[in-house]
Structure 1
Amino acid sequence: MGDIIHSLPVLNALFQNFKDAEIHWLIAKGLDGLLQNHPMIKKLLIINKDQWKKINSIGKTIKELSILSKSLRYESYDIVIDLQGLLRSGILTAMTGAPFKIGFSDAREGSSIFYNQRVKGDKDIHAVNRYLRIIKALTGIETKEIKFPFPPFNPSNEIIKLVDSLKDYYVIVPGARWQSKRWSPDKFAEAACLLENRSIIIGGKDDIPISQFIKEKARDKVIDLTDKTNLKDLVFIISQASLVLTNDTGPMHIASALERPLLAIFGPTNPIRTGPFGTKHKVIKAEIACSPCYKRTCSKMDCMNNISVNKVISEIKSLSL
């Protein structure tokens, strides 16, 4: 999810600089809701990449890749941009047969071998600025005004009614794909009880146990919508929030792009590279020697455990809400 949000300024710059261009976007199934009906995108190409990882689905994967390859070549693309820079995305780039294939020279997993135009990315800058180096390579122009263009939200009536009834609320995002990125659910619950307004908890199916724990502890101070929203609902909920309290996860990037007041809790990752972008946020991080380690799991979790509830509440109060 974060990669998609970080790519939106590139979409905006392409749309502004190449008025007559037809833009297509290749996106993973399950995340397409973020870009459905986007006025800048002519076509969304949806791939089931999670299925590709399953050995017992290899037959379906080969068939899908064969169909996808033919579809990509049929489009006769002039330019293909690979922002993700993984082996999978590099192979898909090559499958298009486009005459101009551009990506980063320092892309991961050897994917740069699939490009005929390579741009130095620099991994010690924010991903948004890194991605925009592609635009500079294409146009020779530095992107001065960075915008994150979202499609129309179109949330459900139930979500609209809930948001209208609350008027002033916070959003809590207690989950994360990596175990090492998760602040303690007990601390999230304590923080929710200390916050001035009620909070909406959001997340996916895997986050349900965490959210249920917080709900049991914080009771009426939270509304648990974990795994009860689609992506358009989720974006709308975040867009109307007075504050977002979050781990380093996808919804954090949505909140940042929508310029919502935001406090992000960081541990094993580097906020300089993939933290919230912009100015309406604060990052709280324990300064310990082993962070950032980029480990998905950790038996000690000192970088997260050393962040207290009192510190989080103090930082929230210092935000301009």
Structure 2
Amino acid sequence: MKLSALGDIVHASVAIQFIRKHIANAHISWFCDARFEQIARLLAGVDEVVALPLKDKKFLKSFGILRQKQGQFDIIIDLQGLLKSALVSRSLGKNIFGFDRFSTKEGLASIFYTHKYSCNYNKNIILRNLELCAFALNFSFDEKEILTKEPCFLKNSRIPNKNSRISSKKILIAPFASESSKCYAHFASVIKGAKEFAQCFLVAGSEIEREKATKLASSGATLLAPLDLAQILEFMDTCDLIIGNDSGITHLAWAQNYATITLFGNRSGARNAFATPKNLIIQATPKHKIDAFHIDKSDFCINDIDPAQIIAKAKGLCDA
């Protein structure tokens, strides 16, 4: 159970292959908001995706869908830990596993769980999700297993894959995020430095993002045409590196085992990303101690990151 948003769904995606590893014949249903149905349907190892139009406030339709699914599951795992996801879980059955009231942002959600797991809310989110699944399904895992994970999402074949690589290096830059305090303001300088050893491409979603990206492209990058998430996955497969803010795009790249550099400011990179030799985190120094329960959205310390640091790490990954 991971209803929204994109980054949250991606963070939970790795749990599927761990479940499959220990319970090979499990039938896995994934509940998500209808706005994220496309990415959920690309999840590798999921048997069924159930899309609920909750964000569009179609509550009667959502209730009807849930009613049809009621009583069909032996175990229900709420990885999101919000009141909304807890209510959805409770409508499906009674054998529900979730975080206890001290371990999730909306502690009230825990009253709907049959089995409650205690885990520091500031702990790495990938580990939190895996630990809850392990608790629910009675298996154990080693963090080193994450380093050898399989790609979490399927891809289509509408865009050429790595066989069509051009000779020069390619970097995809994802300069946007859901919160302004998560957005790095100096990508123009990064592009100017990185274009000395790679071609830079920009991805943007909304019209507002595309307007900003058009200006950013003048620094020496190519703005991609609008792509859906499946197409973005395919384009990533032709790239040597993805650089971006703490956003769904960079987390998606991590899930697919692509090299990444993810930038963090007022949020913890140690919590919201899983570092590997090819998945680097650059953390700015926030004004106050970072606490996932209380995010200071007025802190734009992400902009204190030196573009030269990003460029140097990008060159190292591209040369690896």
Same fold (TM over 0.5): yes
1:95-151 CA distance string (max 9 Å, x none): 11x231101112232111110011112223211111111232134332232325434
What aligned pairs does 1:274-289 form with structure 2 within 5 A after superposition?
Answer: 274-289=272-287
Residues 43-64 of structure 1 show CA distances to partners (whole Å, capped at 9, x for unaligned) of 1101123212xxxxxxxx2321
- Pick from 314, 317, 320: which aligns with 1:316? 314
CA 1:71–1:261 in structure 2 vs 1: closer, same or farther (change >3 Å)?
same
Displacement of 1:14 after TM fit?
1.8
**Gapped regions of structure 1 (runs ≥ 5):** 53-60
The CA distance in 2 between the partners of 1:174 and 1:163, in whole Å, is 27
* Distance apart, 1:188 and its partner CA: 1.0
- Determine the structure 2 residue equivalent to 1:81: 77
Residue in 2 aligned with 1:254? 252
Q: In the TM superposition, what is the alpha-carbon distance from 1:155 to its structure 2 partner?
A: 4.2
Deviation of the 1:317 alpha carbon? 3.0
Q: Percent identity?
A: 20
Cα 1:263–1:39 change in 2 (3 A) is: closer
* Counterpart-to-counterpart distance in 2, 1:43 and 1:33: 13
TM-score for both structures, normalised by structure 1:
0.85
Q: Is the 8 A contact 1:35 1:150 kept in 2?
A: no
1:102 aligns with 97
For the aligned residues, what is the CA RMSD? 2.4
Structure 1 stretch 98-107 or stretch 171-180: which is displaced more? 98-107
Counterparts of 1:140 and 1:161, CA distance in 2: 38
Q: Who is 2:222 aligned against? A: 223
Equivalent residues of 1:178, 1:296 under 8 A apart: no
TM-score, scaled to structure 2 = 0.85
8 A Cα contact 1:171 1:200, kept in partner:
yes
Structure 2 CA distance for partners of 1:276 and 1:229, relative to 1, 3 Å: farther
1:30 aligned counterpart, secondary structure: helix
Distance change in 2, residues 1:30/1:148 (3 Å): farther
TM-superposed CA distance for 1:291, in Å, is: 5.6
Report what 1:172 is aligned to: 173
Question: Structure 1: which amino acid aligns with 2:84?
Answer: R
**Equivalent position amino acid for 1:251 in 2:** I
2:86–2:112 contact (8 Å) kept in structure 1: yes
Letter in 1 for 2:95: F
Contact 2:126 2:274 in 1 (8 A): no
- 1:259-270 equivalence runs, <5 A: 259-270=257-268
- Between Structure 1 and Structure 2, how many residues are aligned? 301
State the alpha-carbon separation in 1 of the partners of residues 35 and 160 from structure 2: 22
Structure 2 gap segments, 5+ residues each:
1-5
Higher mean C-alpha deviation, range 174-183 or range 126-135: 126-135
- Asked whether 1:41 is paired with 2:46, we answer yes
Amino acid at match of 1:99: K
Distance 1:259 1:66, change over 3 A: closer
> Shift of the alpha carbon at 1:296?
6.8
Counterpart for residue 56 of structure 1:
none
**Does residue 62 of structure 2 align to residue 65 of structure 1?**
yes
2:34 counterpart of 1:29: yes
Match of 1:169, SS state, is strand
**CA apart distance, 1:78:** 1.1
Residue in 2 aligned with 1:203? 204
- The secondary structure found in structure 2 opposite 1:108 is coil
- Report SS of the residue matched to 1:46: strand
